[in-house]
Structure 1
Amino acid sequence: MLRIATANVNGIRAALRRGFGDWLAGRDCDAVALQEIRAQPAKIPDGAFGDFHVTLDAGNLPGRNGVAVLTRRPPAAVRTWAGSALLGDPSGPMREIPAPDRTPLARGLGPFASQGRYLEVDLADAPLTLACLYLPKGGLPAHLQRPERMREAPDGGARYARKMRFLDGFARYLTRTRRAAAREGRELLLMGDLNIAHQELDLAAWRRNQQTDGFLPEERAWLGAQLSPRTLVDVVRHLHPGENGPYSWWSWLGRSFAEDAGWRIDYHLATPRLARSAMRAVVDRDHAGTRLADHSPVVVDYDWG
């Protein structure tokens, strides 16, 4: 069995203060994909990743983004859009390693290549490629922007257009990397914060959020287009058909968390053979009564390996 988790930690240092280290030590995962590390390597506390080997692309935007994959053994291969990554073991400092991509970077992804948004590792002890993604949050198109309803200043749709360019490029890239893994005899598992709630079941207050970024019709259609029984399967939805949630993000404001008024935006998207092996999927809403971040880890057990 493989137990694999994905978690947006919204700042590794903040998550550690809330108990992330204890959660990691006690959850008995074989691999963990992390998003929004939000710290350059020198700022990450010693021992932050426990007994795991860590592969990290922190990106070049201090205090923003950053993705990592934790594994029990050193990965067999590492790939990033930036061409290099940091690799660390439980007892030593992280060192820079070459991490060249094996597929051409699709048009539209170039501006994101050095931002610490995507990382791939091949497991050493199973024919499996783990991909970790932090997809841009985006914004509203210009015609939906109402200053009185927005926390951020109107931008004429710039953040929306940026996300749409990313989605367009990443769709092509995802097809290429899925096919590349298949040629090598590997299954692919894409995990991360996709900043899109796919269906009405994935958002508690879906009726009043139909013109909210993250639940726009075009975003939902894009995610749906990536899924099929022959390409990638939404593992959590496969195991929880027809069920509201299980949600993985809640606002810090009000009673959203207490009332479970959340969004399901953190995913395991697996190639069909791997998806069929999934046995259990849970969201660890808190750890010892404390939220680790505004997101919670999504943990899946696979009958694999």
Structure 2
Amino acid sequence: MSTFDEHRSLLTGVAYRILGSVADAEDVVQETWLRWSGVDEAAVADPKAYLVRVTSRSALDRLRWAKSRRESYVGPWLPEPISTAPDAAEHAELAASVELALLVVLETLSPLERAVFVLREAFDLPFSEIAQVIGRAEPATRQLAKRARDHVQEKRPRFDVDPGERRRITERFVNASVNGDLDGLIELLSSDVTLVSDGGGKARSPLRALTGADNVTRFLMSTTTPEGIAKFMASIGVQDYADFSFGVQEVNGGPAMVLFAGGRVVTVISLLVSDGRIDTIYLLANPDKIAHLPWSGTATRPGG
């Protein structure tokens, strides 16, 4: 195994956490490889530190550019999910990725804060190395790290849920949603539940967050009717969806409802659970972000 391939998993993890995008992370790692291919390896004292530094700087530059683009994004912007199923070969190097909920919080940090937080909290890099990455003095880097850590601790959802319970609630949510079980769905939602949907202007979805069990339930029920399904499929250019399927799969380290149609994944729904109720729903429908996900469910239709 080459030196670069030995560290590829680490580099992809760094780039993904900084950027929240698989596609951008892969581009950054490719840029790092191109730069590494022109370096005299014998002259590099610490290849791992060098590669992490190059990758982090490239990811930070790309994040600054991406931040300006996301300001004009249609509707809410959610991070790009990745499959963390044990048998998922694609993007397997990200199997230990962070939860979507944390990635959402990281979006509220400045690019520098996010890079420092990721490198320190996720990869435990020394402040001296992080300072070299971001081009700041070590004391300033420590201040950025503290500010970022305090912000994340304040904003990050504090849910301590048994993984088995979360999966059971996700499965109940799937059954209630696809079978039009209004009472079953209401029973699962907290009264102040929030639904954040990312269609990116390319899929039919709410352009603003929905709050309250009534609003969220009304939206979910409208999407499972034959008319609602047809409108959604038309919005993403799927005319023939005889293979429409749904199931629960591991996404970003947790269970998520995944819908498949037209030969690709068309929706991913991740749930945050607190005190046995669903507190937050992240719905991703932008095909640019989810079409790459593998499908491992069974062919089942609503009501089937």
Structure showing greater Rg: 2
More strand as a share of residues: 1
More helix by share: 2
**TM-score, length of structure 2 as denominator length:** 0.28
TM score, norm. by length of structure 1 = 0.28
